[in-house]
Amino acid sequence: MSMTAYHTTSSTADLSRTRRANTEAVTVPYLGASVPVGLAGASAVALFILLLDALAGHPLGTPNALGASLLRGEAFDPTAPIRPALVFGYTLLHVATFICVAAAAVSTEFTLSRSGASLSYQLAAVASGLVVGLQAVFLALSLLLDIGWVGGIGFERIFAANVIAALTMTITVHLRGETRKMAADEQAR
């Protein structure tokens, strides 16, 4: 084999590896982006519920009651004494759930963006998907665990919290997408 043939083969192999690495890096960029988007949604819901609990005279009553129900199988009671371990445990589950749902939202935005969908379509798809997804997670959890706290919290309150989370997460997804586009434009220069 001549030196030129070896060099060409080597360069082609290197180029192929580089393309494969770049493709792999592009196919799942939403995994890392899911964390801040999920945190934004979880924080929005937490602040909304904290405000409602404070207005009702029981700050942290809802996460305490949800923690007691989910982690200990106790009856849902937002007036029960606050146990920090239950609030913390529930908060961890809450954040993890939102990060998982955020992965789907960021993936949707990324896929629609790559397919050339309009920005308004992307945002509408992400927002509506988030509302439906968050409601489905909540209802599935309540049915699977046969927990009677759905009536204790109130469907309207759950729906309002999920809409607030969906809007917050959609804005966060959009801002992250714009940042990604600016970085791509910067690299292209």
Contact (Cβ atoms closer than 8 angstroms) between residue 134 and residue 61: no
Percent of the chain with pLDDT over 90: 36
Contact (Cβ atoms closer than 8 angstroms) between residue 51 and residue 161: no
> Is residue 9 assigned to a domain?
no
- Quick check: 120 pLDDT over 50? yes
The secondary structure element, H or E, covering residue 147 is none
Q: How far apart are CA 91 and CA 153, in angstroms?
A: 16
> Is residue 23 assigned to a domain?
no
Contact (Cβ atoms closer than 8 angstroms) between residue 133 and residue 112: no
> Is residue 174 assigned to a domain?
yes
pLDDT of residue 51: 95
pLDDT in tens, 41-71: 999 999 999 999 999 999 999 999 889 888 8
At 143, the pLDDT band (50, 70, 90 cuts) reads confident
> Is residue 27 assigned to a domain?
no
pLDDT of residue 6: 46
CB count within 10 Å of CB 111 equals 13
Contact (Cβ atoms closer than 8 angstroms) between residue 82 and residue 62: no
Look up the domain containing 94 and give its range: 33-188
pLDDT of residue 90: 94
> Is residue 78 assigned to a domain?
yes
pLDDT of residue 52: 93
pLDDT in tens, 64-118: 988 988 889 888 888 999 999 999 999 999 999 999 999 988 888 888 888 888 8
> Is residue 73 assigned to a domain?
yes
At 7, the pLDDT band (50, 70, 90 cuts) reads very low
> Is residue 159 assigned to a domain?
yes
**Count of alpha carbons within 13 angstroms of residue 107, beta-carbon side:** 11
Q: How far apart are CA 153 and CA 135, in angstroms?
A: 14
Residue with tokens 């955020």: 102
End-to-end CA, the chain: 39
Domain count, the chain: 1
pLDDT of residue 88: 96
- Quick check: 178 pLDDT over 70? no
> Is residue 157 assigned to a domain?
yes
Q: How far is CA 100 from the centre of its chain?
A: 5
